[in-house]
Amino acid sequence: MSGKELPKTIRKLVATRASPKFREVVSIVTEPTPKPGDGEVLVKNRFVGINASDINFTAARYNPDAKFPMEIGFEAVAEVVAAGPNALYKPGQAVMYMQYGAFSEYKLMKDKLLVPLPKLKAEYLPFILSGNTAAISLDKVGHIKSGETVLITAAAGGTGQIAVQWAKLKGCHVIGTCSSEDKMKFLKEIGCDRPVNYKTENLREVLKKEYPKGVDVVYETIGGDMFDTCVENLALHGRLIIIGYIEGYESDKGYKPASTLTTLPSMLLRKSASVGGFFLPQFAEDSAPYVMKQIQYYNEGKLKSFVDLGQKASAGPFNGLEKIVDAVEHLYSKKSIGKIIVDLNPKK
Ligand SMILES: NC(=O)c1ccc[n+]([C@@H]2O[C@H](COP(=O)([O-])OP(=O)(O)OC[C@H]3O[C@@H](n4cnc5c(N)ncnc54)[C@H](OP(=O)(O)O)[C@@H]3O)[C@@H](O)[C@H]2O)c1
């Protein structure tokens, strides 16, 4: 093993029991620093991404047989600090990864699961989970084409910001929903053709009036009445991608189904429209090429990446493992713009 002087112990955030009440069920534990084996590296996490599903994961909705205490957190930008025999990377290499257990100061990783980066930078993080969800699902489930109308819900969020820009890059007309004037401004800046603040405008009425033929593709992350509105306003041959149902995540009962699901078959049939589901882990083979494509577009200035490190949040800035709880609550406050990130090791 080679590398810098490492601490004897590391700290990580774990869930102690199954519940979506993130603050109540997480705690910081200390354990001996792991040593990398063959083909493994130890990484020091710098930026960790916050996701709506962090609370689905603590609620054991991903794995009902989960054992506690359970490692949590999905993704990080990190630096390799020690390498085992035959590892692909040396200490000092900046990397990014998507793996359960990222809410940790250090993490042992198989080298093959890492994406190498030119430098440690928060702006790369939105591309791996949020960005891949947007880009892969719009291409492979939504089959978006130039000239089509695409509706993105939670358009100013972590995954929504990339979905808007990806659909614009493909030549689509993009409608994006959000809940504040700050987000409306942000959506205009990233090229959204028709931002809709659903607090001040009725989305159903906007769609009926301005898009009487309906929308071709919907990127749906909210559920409930939003889902119904989107299905009602699908165009002929429209496609709706179910990306999430955030309305139900905070409830102990879990996901809340759309209230009028019984009418779904008839609404789809008469338009030959489809509703498809998308879960990023089931598209693993697309992950590396899509993340590289986004980094290429970012470096070429075609794709922008917005991160929210909590500078404007009441509990911010989000610096250190202790701030992950505040960062998760910030996501559910609906005030965040772009991808929420916690800096575990801010430069002084
Ligand atoms: N299928 C997959 O593989 C996959 C992968 C990644 C993410 N997702 C899904 O994508 C969605 C967005 O996730 P994200 O991590 O990128 O979060 P995010 O969009 O950064 O934050 C959530 C946003 O959702 C909107 N929202 C609407 N109703 C809400 C409610 N009742 N509670 C909280 N927020 C509400 C808010 O924006 P407005 O107030 O502006 O509407 C809020 O800012 C989630 O549904 C998530 O599960 C799915």
> Domain span at residue 324?
2-120+306-343
Say how far apart CA 170 and CA 217 lie, in whole Å. Answer: 13
- Is residue 291 assigned to a domain? no
Whether ligand 1 lies within 6 angstroms of the CB of 287 is answered as: no
Ligand 1 atom at minimum distance from 247 CA: 31
Q: Is the domain of 233 the same as that of 274?
A: yes
What percent of the chain is predicted at pLDDT more than 90?
Answer: 87
Considering the domain boundaries, does residue 153 fall inside one?
A: yes
What is the rounded radius of gyration, in angstroms, for the C-alpha atoms of the chain? 20
Which H, E and C letters describe the chain, residue by residue?
Answer: CEECCCCCEEEEEEECCCCCCHHHHEEEEEEECCCCCCCEEEEEEEEEECCCCHHHHHCCCCCCCCCCCEECCCEEEEEEEEECCCCCCCCCCEEEEECCCCCECEEEEEHHHCEEECCCCHHHHHHCCHHHHHHHHHHHCCCCCCCCEEEECCCCCCCHHHHHHHHHHCCCEEEEEECCHHHHHHHHHCCCCEEEECCCCCHHHHHHHHCCCCEEEEEECCCHHHHHHHHHCEEEEEEEEECCCHHHCCCCCCCCCCCCHHHHHHHHHCCCCEEEECCHHHHHHHHHHHHHHHHHHHHCCCCCCCEECCCCCCCCCCECHHHHHHHHHHHHCCCCCCEEEEECCCCC
Q: Is residue 167 part of a domain?
A: yes
Evaluate: CB of 15 within 6 angstroms of ligand 1.
no
Q: Whose CA is nearest to atom 5 of ligand 1?
A: 133
Q: Whole-prediction pTM value?
A: 0.94
Same domain, yes or no: 255 and 191 = yes
Mutating to test ligand 1, I would choose from 22, 53, 307 the residue with most ligand atoms within 8 A of its C-beta, which is 53
Which tokens go with 14? 């774990």
Instruction: Indicate which residue's Cα is closest to atom 24 of ligand 1.
Output: 154
Last residue in a domain, options 237, 266, 281: 281
Query: How much is the pLDDT for 1?
Result: 45
Q: Please choose, from the candidates 132, 123, 65, the residue with its C-alpha nearest in 3D space to the C-alpha of residue 98.
A: 132
Q: In the numeric block, which tokens belong to residue 83?
A: 């390498």
| Residue linked to tokens 């789809």 | 268
CATH number at residue 138: 3.40.50.720
Closest to 220 measured CA to CA, from 131, 291, 155, 130: 155
- Whether 153 and 261 map to the same domain: the answer is yes
241 within ligand 1 shell (Cβ under 6 A): no
Give the distance (Å) from ligand 1 centre to CA of residue 179: 12
Q: From the CB of 158, is ligand 1 less than 6 Å away?
A: yes
- The answer to the question of residue 147 being in a domain is yes
pLDDT per residue, tens digit, the chain (348 aa), is: 444 589 999 999 999 999 999 999 999 999 999 999 999 999 999 999 999 999 999 999 888 899 999 999 999 999 999 999 999 999 999 999 999 999 999 999 999 999 999 999 999 999 999 999 999 999 999 999 999 999 999 999 999 999 999 999 999 999 999 999 999 999 999 999 999 999 999 999 999 999 999 999 999 999 889 999 999 999 999 999 999 989 989 987 665 545 555 568 767 877 888 988 899 999 999 999 999 999 999 999 999 999 999 999 999 999 999 999 999 999 999 999 999 999 999 986
Cβ–ligand 1 contact at 179 (below 6 Å) = yes
Which atom of ligand 1 is nearest to 153's Cα? Answer: 41
Number of domains in the chain: 2
Assess whether 148 and 247 both reside in one domain.
yes
Do 102 and 138 belong to one domain?
Answer: no
- Ligand 1 atom with the shortest distance to the CA of 279: 3
In a domain, 264, yes or no: yes
Is ligand 1 within 6 A of the CB of residue 123? no
Decide if 318 is inside a domain: yes
Reference 44, options 321, 333, 249; nearest CA is: 321
Same domain (yes/no): 169, 274: yes
Among 106, 101, 18, CA closest to 59: 18
Q: Are 186 and 165 in contact (CB under 8 A)?
A: no
Residues 47, 11 within the same domain: yes
Total Cβ atoms within 10 A of residue 11: 17
CATH of the domain at 77: 3.90.180.10
Ligand 1 in reach of 207 Cβ (< 6 A): no
Identify which of 219, 233, 232, 237 has the alpha carbon closest to the alpha carbon of residue 264: 232
Do residues 73 and 45 share a domain?
Answer: yes
Which atom of ligand 1 is closest in space to residue 160's alpha carbon? 19
Q: Check if the beta carbon of residue 230 is closer than 8 Å to that of residue 252.
A: no
Q: Is residue 164 part of a domain?
A: yes
Q: What is the pLDDT of residues 14-67, one digit of tens each?
A: 999 999 999 999 999 999 999 999 999 999 999 999 999 999 999 998 888 999
64 alpha carbon – ligand 1 mean position (Å): 22
113 and 137 housed in the same domain? no
Identify whether 289 is part of a domain: no
- Whether residues 181 and 206 share a domain: the answer is yes
Answer yes or no: do 210 and 271 share one domain: yes
Whether 246 lines ligand 1, by a CB cut-off of 6 Å, is yes
| Nearest alpha carbon, ligand 1 atom 43 | 334
Q: Is 247 in the pocket of ligand 1 (CB under 6 A)?
A: yes
- If asked whether residues 178 and 235 sit together in one domain, one would say yes
Ligand 1 centre distance from Cα of residue 160 (Å): 8
